[in-house]
């Protein structure tokens, strides 16, 4: 290892050069042992490994259609990082009446949701079976899985769901609404929760 004080003056500073003593064969590593903060598919060796083990949600939550349609406008004013960068996603947790309970932003959609569920967990609020989740982008299957594990029965988003997200929402008795606009939305699963 080369330390900064061993470097020529033009390379001095916060520099450390590391050289491995032997060459490592990374192909021998079992990828399933790698932990990832990215989407639920990363690090999995098969589609069967993507399956989560939880029961279908039994929440009797019902939400007015007009409340769901207003959620993007209720989340937007608090998205300071998005306002200054235009490059982050948000996950917002709402009451059935549309009150913003908590939100988190991150460059990754899944990280924003992880932060929000982490907040709920540390504040002893799980299960979230009487809440609505709003996503600022598209709905992917891993976001639906995470919401299922936190017992969130209604997911709404400004973007589209993937077909696998729809399948998982149906499997876990979750209501999935996408393409939220001021006067319209698409409801993909369990529309009985939207009144």
Check the CA dihedral 36-142-88-118 and report its sign. Answer: negative
* Residue in the block written with tokens 């982490």: 118
Q: What is the DSSP letter of 110?
A: H
Q: 7, 39, 160, 164: which one is catalytic? A: 39
Residues 6+ apart with CB under 8 A from 156: 68, 71, 132, 133, 134, 135, 177, 178, 180, 185
- Are β-strands 132-135 and 89-94 bridged in parallel, bridged antiparallel, or unpaired? antiparallel
What is the Cα gyration radius of the chain?
21
Question: What SS3 state is found at 176?
Answer: strand
Residues present in the chain in total: 195
Helix (H) or strand (E) holding 71: helix 65-75
User: For this structure, is 39 an active site residue?
Assistant: yes
Catalytic residue IDs: 39
């Amino acid at each position: 290892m080369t330390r900064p004080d061993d470097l020529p003056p033009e390379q001095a500073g916060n520099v450390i050069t590391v050289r491995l003593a032997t060459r490592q064969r990374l192909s021998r590593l079992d990828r399933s042992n790698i932990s990832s903060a990215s989407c639920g598919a990363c690090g999995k060796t098969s589609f069967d490994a993507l399956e989560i083990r939880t029961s279908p949600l039994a929440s009797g939550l019902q939400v007015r259609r007009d409340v769901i349609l207003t959620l993007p406008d209720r989340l937007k004013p608090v998205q300071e990082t998005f306002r200054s960068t235009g490059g982050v996603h948000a996950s917002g947790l709402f009451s059935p009446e549309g009150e913003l309970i908590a939100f988190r932003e991150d460059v990754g959609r899944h990280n924003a949701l992880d932060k929000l569920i982490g907040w709920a967990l540390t504040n002893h609020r799980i299960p979230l079976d009487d809440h609505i989740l709003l996503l600022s982008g598209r709905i992917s299957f891993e976001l639906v899985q995470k919401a299922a594990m936190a017992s969130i029965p209604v997911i709404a988003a400004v973007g589209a769901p993937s077909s696998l997200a729809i399948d998982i929402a149906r499997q876990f008795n979750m209501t999935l609404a996408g393409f939220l606009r001021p006067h319209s939305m698409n409801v993909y699963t369990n529309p009985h929760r939207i009144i």
